[in-house]
Structure formats: C-alpha cells, structure tokens
Amino acid sequence: MNILEVLKDLIASSGFAALTYKELIMFVIIGVLIYLAIVKQFEPLLLLPIAFGMLLTNLPVADIMAAPAHGEAGGLLYYLSRGVKWEIFPPLIFLGVGAMTDFGPLLANPSSVLMGAGAQFGVFFAFTVAMLFGFTPQEAASIGIIGGADGPTAIFLTNKLAPDLLGPIAVAAYSYMALVPMIQPPIMKALTTEKERTVKMGVLRQVSKAEKVIFPIVVAMLVILFLPSLKPLVGMLMLGNLFKESGVVGRLADTAQNALINIITIFLGLSVGATAKAEVFLTPKTIGIIVIGVLAFAIATASGVIIGKIMYKVTKGKINPLIGSAGVSAVPMAARVSQVVGQKYDPTNFLLMNAMGPNVAGVIGSAVAAGVLLSMFG
C-alpha cells in the first residue's frame, strides 16, 4: 500500500469525509456566538461553554452525546447532560444566584414588584404568538419563557414541557440575555421622553438585616405553596439568599456564589450546547423560536417601561420609567443598562440601585410565570 492510499483511507475514515453542509452552517453560528462571547464580551461565562458544546456535538463521527450501549460507556456530555435532564443544574444555578442577589432594593421600594411583574407580559404575549404559529401549548410555553430573560428557568421549563426544543430555546434565551445592551436601549428611548429619562430617584432607605433574613423564608413559603412545581427553583434561590443574608454561613455563601456556580455553569453550558445538533437546530421550528424569542424579550422590556411610565404619572414624576426595563430577569445586566441609558441624558443621575428593585423582582416573576405555565400544561 503506497502513501497515497494510506492518506486516502485516513481521510475517508476521518470526520472530514462525514461533514455535511448542515455542520458547516452550524460552524458559522458557533463562530458568531464565540465572537460575541470573546470580542463583545456578551455574557461570556454562559455563551462560551454553550458555543463550545455546540462545536463538540456537531463534529462528526465520534458522538460525544452517545448513550451507553452494549456494555460500552457513553459520551462525556451524555453523562454531564443528566444534570439538565434530571433537573439538577438549574436549581443549583439558582442557589448561586440567590447567594449573589441583594433583595434590599426590592424591600426598600416594594412597588418595584409591579415593574418586575409587568415585564412578564412578554412571556404570555410570546406564548400566544407561538400558539398562532402552530406550536403545541407545551412548546409555546417553553418559547414564551424566553421573554423572562432567565436561562435556568427556560431550561427547567423546557426540559419538562418540550425537551426536544431544549437546544434552540436555551441558545436563544442565553443569546438574548447576552444582547441586553443592544436590544433594550432603542426600546427604552422610543417609549420615554427626555424629561422622563432625567428623573432622579434619590437614595433608597436602609433595609434592616431582619427584613433581609425574613424575606427569603416568607417568599419560599408563599410561592411554593401557591405553585408547588417551583419548589426546586425558588427553594434553592431563597436558600442561597438566606446563606448570604444570615451572616453565619459565610463559607457556604462564598462556595455557592463562586466555586459551585462556576462549576455548574461550565457543565450546564456544555450540556445545553451539546443538545444543538445540526439536524435538530437547523429546522423551521428553530427559526420560529429565534424570531418569537426576540419578540418576547422586546415586549417584556416594553411592558416594564410602560408600567414605569404609569408609575411616573401616579407618583407625579418620582419614578424614572427607564428602570422598568430592568423588570426582565437578566441580573444585574438589565439594571446596568437602565443606569447607562439614564446617564446619557444626565451624567449625575444614578439609577442602578433603584433599577435593581425591578431586576430582582423579575427573577421571582419569571419563575412564577414558569410555574403558572407548568401548572397549566405540565
């Protein structure tokens, strides 16, 4: 056998020979996601492992998501993805989120919950649109939750209602979370006047430690009693927050918000990305999910701002409507966007802490919206 035949056999048995145009299209999409993560730094902690998981699963021949068969071990990401399938990773992410979240701004200004709740209108609007486009109620509910801008909640709900759509929905949800600084400002400016954008809201009242400790316990009880299906998500979110606010388990709070959430983020990102195989991802359904998903996010942003405008009128100009856009659950990025847009019109205006009220309310709101949809269609 000469060298040419050896090379020919080597190429024929390699992944190059098995590549199709679908994989090549996926490589382009993956390249865009990696570009956004590294160059634009849009949610890189999530987008980068998701994109690389997509890359690994779309490289042909060796299937990194292969299930175990005939006594042989399965692919690496098959085992990691059990954390998604068995609903382990999203609640653990929420544990870390809770340990990083300060509900003080919400407690200092309870009316913020109205903007967080208002932003959830985008979820139900997108659900209705998806139904009109022929998606099943379960698929429509999973697509609608993209409007909440809450990746773990989107994964949790989709895994229960429409697991076949997990890849496209997760990628869409995290991509739009990453694109918050691009998507939200034009909507915020279109719906507010310059006078409204320059409203200064002042310093929030000091919230006592007792309030902060009692809050996660009460919320966990009320929400879970009302929507038992949310016990894993809301339970872990509030446990993490109790770790933080109690002040007596510093090591646990530190582990939850650093080492644990970082490890789970790697596993979750790779597992979610690995579900986006070309034959599943490149379908008319995926295009519909992408389009309806961005619509959901836009409507959620607009709804929060509109609620902010109503509160501006009711309070005779004491509420800056820009903070309503932070009612989506992208913490703390959406609150930062409110701050950045506000400072463009008045560099001395500081809206960040006031915007954190609707922002953390949106975390709870998106989970509640998911629980309502799950109770209806689960």
- Percent of the chain exceeding pLDDT 90 equals 72
- What amino acid is encoded at 23 in this protein? E
Q: Residue 364: is its pLDDT beyond 80?
A: yes
Does 333 fall in a domain?
yes
**What is each CA distance from 355 to 108, 179, 212, 322, in whole angstroms?**
12, 18, 18, 8
Does 297 fall in a domain?
yes
CA 340/CA 188 separation, integer angstroms: 11
Give the sign of the dihedral formed by CA 39, CA 344, CA 119, CA 306. Answer: negative
User: What is the chain's mean pLDDT, rounded?
Assistant: 91
| Cβ 98 vs Cβ 246: under 8 Å | no
Q: Which of 213, 235, 292, 218 lies closest to 90, judged by CA?
A: 235
Does 75 fall in a domain?
no
- What amino acid is encoded at 272 in this protein? V
Does 63 fall in a domain?
no
Q: Which of 174-178, 190-194, 258-262 has the lowest mean pLDDT?
A: 174-178
Does 74 fall in a domain?
no
CA 264/CA 155 separation, integer angstroms: 14
Q: Residue 22: is its pLDDT beyond 70?
A: yes
| Cβ 155 vs Cβ 170: under 8 Å | yes
| Cβ 138 vs Cβ 150: under 8 Å | no
Per DSSP, 257 falls in state I
For residue 70, the model assigns a pLDDT of 84
Question: Average pLDDT, stretch 136-140?
Answer: 95
Copy the structure tokens of residue 289. 């999910």
| Cβ 150 vs Cβ 260: under 8 Å | no
| Cβ 61 vs Cβ 49: under 8 Å | no
| Cβ 298 vs Cβ 146: under 8 Å | no
Copy the structure tokens of residue 290. 């992408």
| Cβ 213 vs Cβ 242: under 8 Å | yes
- Residue 321 CB coordination number (10 Å): 25
For residue 275, the model assigns a pLDDT of 87
Q: Which of 142-146, 171-175, 209-213 has the lowest mean pLDDT?
A: 171-175
CA 264/CA 169 separation, integer angstroms: 19
- Is residue 69 helix, strand or coil? strand
Q: Residue 330: is its pLDDT beyond 90?
A: no
pLDDT per position as a tens digit, 235-288: 999 999 999 999 999 999 999 999 999 999 999 999 989 988 998 888 898 889
State which residues form the domain around 205: 97-246+284-377
Does 238 fall in a domain?
yes
CA 57/CA 50 separation, integer angstroms: 11
| The total number of structural domains that make up the chain | 1
Does 209 fall in a domain?
yes
H/E run at residue 263: helix 261-274
**What is each CA distance from 227 to 171, 294, 368, 375, in whole angstroms?**
27, 27, 8, 8
Question: Average pLDDT, stretch 102-129?
Answer: 93
Question: Average pLDDT, stretch 289-295?
Answer: 90
- Is residue 72 helix, strand or coil? strand
**What is each CA distance from 18 to 4, 21, 30, 359, 375, in whole angstroms?**
20, 10, 19, 46, 44
Q: Which of 10-14, 192-196, 204-208, 226-230 has the lowest mean pLDDT?
A: 10-14
Copy the structure tokens of residue 56. 């690994």
**What is each CA distance from 91 to 96, 143, 229, 240, 289, in whole angstroms?**
9, 20, 12, 10, 24
For residue 176, the model assigns a pLDDT of 80
Note the residue count of the chain.
378
Query: How does residue 1 score in pLDDT terms, banded at 50, 70 and 90?
Result: low
CA 273/CA 173 separation, integer angstroms: 12
Does 348 fall in a domain?
yes
